[in-house]
Amino acid sequence: MQKRKLNGLEVSAIGYGCMGLSQGYIPTPDKAEALKLIRLAYDLGCTFFDTAERYAMGANEELVGAALQPVRQEVVIATKFMIEAQEEEEARGDLPDRLRKKLEHSLRRLRTDHVELYYQHRVNKHIPVEEIAYCMGEFIREGKILGWGQSQATAEEIRRAHAVTPLTAIQNEYSIMERMFEKDVIPVCEALGIGFVPFSPLANGFLSGTIHAGTQFTGLDARRVITRFDRNNITANQPLLDLINRFAAAKQATPAQISLAWMLHKKDFIVPIPGSRNAARIEENQGAAAVVLADAEYAEIEAALAKIEIHGNRRDEDIAKLRLLK
């Protein structure tokens, strides 16, 4: 597996997003199978694993900690803390203590004394990023974390936070279907030397090539409320899939591998973290690092993308609706 650097933090070129092992997609594997899948990713060369305190109320961190404990010194673990909107006012009164408790709880669940990367899961609108950044700097000085980041941050938030405690990485949604951060966030990361870690780099599985207008999702599967999976939008996005499939056939690769290879070609500080609950898919995704697009091929894809309209997206507001569905 090739290596890349997120502001000095060395990781595998493709990481593994572990959330789906505990929530978000149906069905989730049992614990024994989930542990095997995490170790499979490691055996395939992945050294970068992503989780969060919020995933399954800490259960995902426990899973990651158990799976990686035997190889802890060989891997990079990223986790996230979340301050909910309704607790922002209270949190400002005891922010350092609150964040410290969150970190200590995560470390315990992960069976480690530090994490390499600690993200703010969502930037709080009423807590200055400078205050969060200062606390992260304290944790770095104490050796509890090696670096920190933000998720779904704006260019302004990145600049302000970075000025207090340099950011290691930004984790925003990014894929060949969702390119809104190309205009300002990715350029800011490049200018400041910050890594960029796309979540949902395969658009929640849409780019796997297995989704069609008749695909149905049930229960607590987030794709029930993600609008790109609306039946009409699936049909409307066929030109994008046709483009990817054409290059997949030419490169003897899969649509998912072409989607990831396109991303890796764009910038050398981009490290996607696809997640999967299937061993074959994990092998496929990790294998994308070996699929190399020539400059001319990349340019051809970019030119074609400029002419394709994308229908639907993934929004936090829509994800929140899932718990209201039966």
Which positions are annotated as active-site residues? Answer: 55
Among residues 180, 176, 173, 112, the alpha carbon closest in space to that of 144 is found at 112
Paired tokens of 60: 């995902």
> Would you give the DSSP letter of residue 199?
B
Question: Using CA atoms, how far apart are residues 258 and 178, in angstroms rounded to an integer?
Answer: 15
What is d(CA 57, CA 59) in angstroms, rounded to the nearest whole number?
6
* CA 185 to chain CA centroid, nearest Å: 15
Whether residue 130 contacts residue 161, with contact meaning beta carbons closer than 8 Å, is answered with yes
Secondary structure (3-state) at 49? strand
238-251 vs 255-266: helix crossing angle, rounded to 10: 90
Q: How far is CA 56 from CA 80, 180, 228, 257, 299, in A?
A: 13, 28, 24, 28, 41
Supply the DSSP string of 141-174, one letter for each residue.
Answer: HHTSBS-EEEES--HHHHHHHHHHS--SEEE-B-
Of 245, 300, 292, residue with least CA distance to 2:
292
Gap between the Cα atoms of 241 and 245, Å rounded: 6
Burial class of residue 242 in the structure, from the number of CB atoms within 10 Å of its CB (0-12 exposed, 13-18 middle, 19+ buried): exposed
Sign of the C-alpha dihedral, residues 301, 304, 307, 309? Answer: negative
Q: Are 13 and 289 in contact (CB under 8 A)?
A: yes
